[in-house]
Amino acid sequence: MRRTRTLAGIGIAAAALLALTACNSGSPSNPGGGTGGDEGGEDSTWFEVASDVQLEGSPTFDAIQERDKVVIGVKEDQPGLGYLDVTTNERTGFDVDIARWIAASLGYDEDKIEFKAIASANREQAIVNGDIDYYVGTYSITDKRKEQIAFAGPYFITGQGLLVGTDSDIESEADLGPDTTVCSATGSTPIQNIRTNYPEVPTKEFDLYSACVEALLSGEVQAVTTDQAILIGYAAQDPDNLMVVGEPFTEERYGVGLAKDDTALQEHINTLFTDGGDIWQAIFDANLGSSGIEVTQPAVD
Ligand code: GLU
């Protein structure tokens, strides 16, 4: 069947991720605090909450200490990466756990984290306004964004892909044309890439990728495009109807978004990533280990 062929083409074990996504609701909600864990009784503490942290010259850290709480911008509709289970109120995903790890390194446990869901188009403004201390959510490092904010990282590398219906004839970006409307999120790098490099392809945009997936399922659009790591999560949730096709056709390097002037926080996070390879791997394995995504931790810039 087409699904089998195309998924094999990109090495995706959708069924495996489906199983993983299902388990994710039971993954540690407090991995840093030493109390969470679903690893069959093993010690599942991935990182410790630091104490007596000092971060000289970081306005963000000063604000965090002042309010005694970390405010982190995330996604909550991207399974495997940044996801909120509204029935259990549990947040899961690779990005969410990276966000928790950073908070722990600053001395803040789960009960002192406030997560704020912020859509792709609103990230720079949220950081510039100081509405969040930092952002971890499939946020590609770009020169344009760096005019307003700074990035720590990269901590993950993926590329733009395509999600289509299992009955679709689209096999890669080469099959896109005037009759294939492609959906992506407002303010994202993938929608920009389609507009710039595939001007004949009609586009539709929403704030959230989950809205694009709805539009694909209803037949309003013929494909959803964004980072393959995101699309794999949606395909795994509905493998009867959705499949990822083709090879990644851009490189997306994920960074942690933070205030432009906060070099101290940027260096702190970069050091954490550089020194914390084992923790990075544990977070990857727990969230994306069975997804078929094969990546190693990238070196920070
Ligand atoms: N990584 C891309 C971006 O930062 C797409 C994913 C997203 O919108 O979060 O624009």
Out of 213, 226, 232, 254, mutate this one to test ligand 1's pocket (max ligand atoms within 8 Å of CB): namely 226
What mean pLDDT do residues 148-177 have?
Answer: 98
Decide if pLDDT at 37 tops 50: no
Fold of 159-245: D-Maltodextrin-Binding Protein; domain 2 (3.40.190)
Which residue's alpha carbon is nearest to atom 9 within ligand 1?
A: 138
What lies within 8 Å, CB to CB, of 109 at 6+ separation is 30, 32, 33, 49, 103
Given the CA of residue 142, which atom of ligand 1 is nearest to it? 4
**Parts of the chain belonging to CATH 3.40.190.10:** 16-36+46-157+252-291, 159-245
d(CA 205, CA 272): 36
Decide if pLDDT at 99 tops 90: yes
- CA 292 centroid distance within chain: 16
50 CA from centroid of ligand 1 (Å) = 30
Second-level CATH architecture of 16-36+46-157+252-291 = 3-Layer(aba) Sandwich (3.40)
Decide if pLDDT at 95 tops 80: yes
d(CA 222, CA 266): 40
Decide if pLDDT at 206 tops 80: yes
Handedness of CA 8, 281, 188, 69 (dihedral sign): positive
Decide if pLDDT at 10 tops 90: no
Categorize the per-residue pLDDT at 5 as very low, low, confident or very high, splitting at 50, 70 and 90. Answer: very low
Categorize the per-residue pLDDT at 290 as very low, low, confident or very high, splitting at 50, 70 and 90. Answer: confident
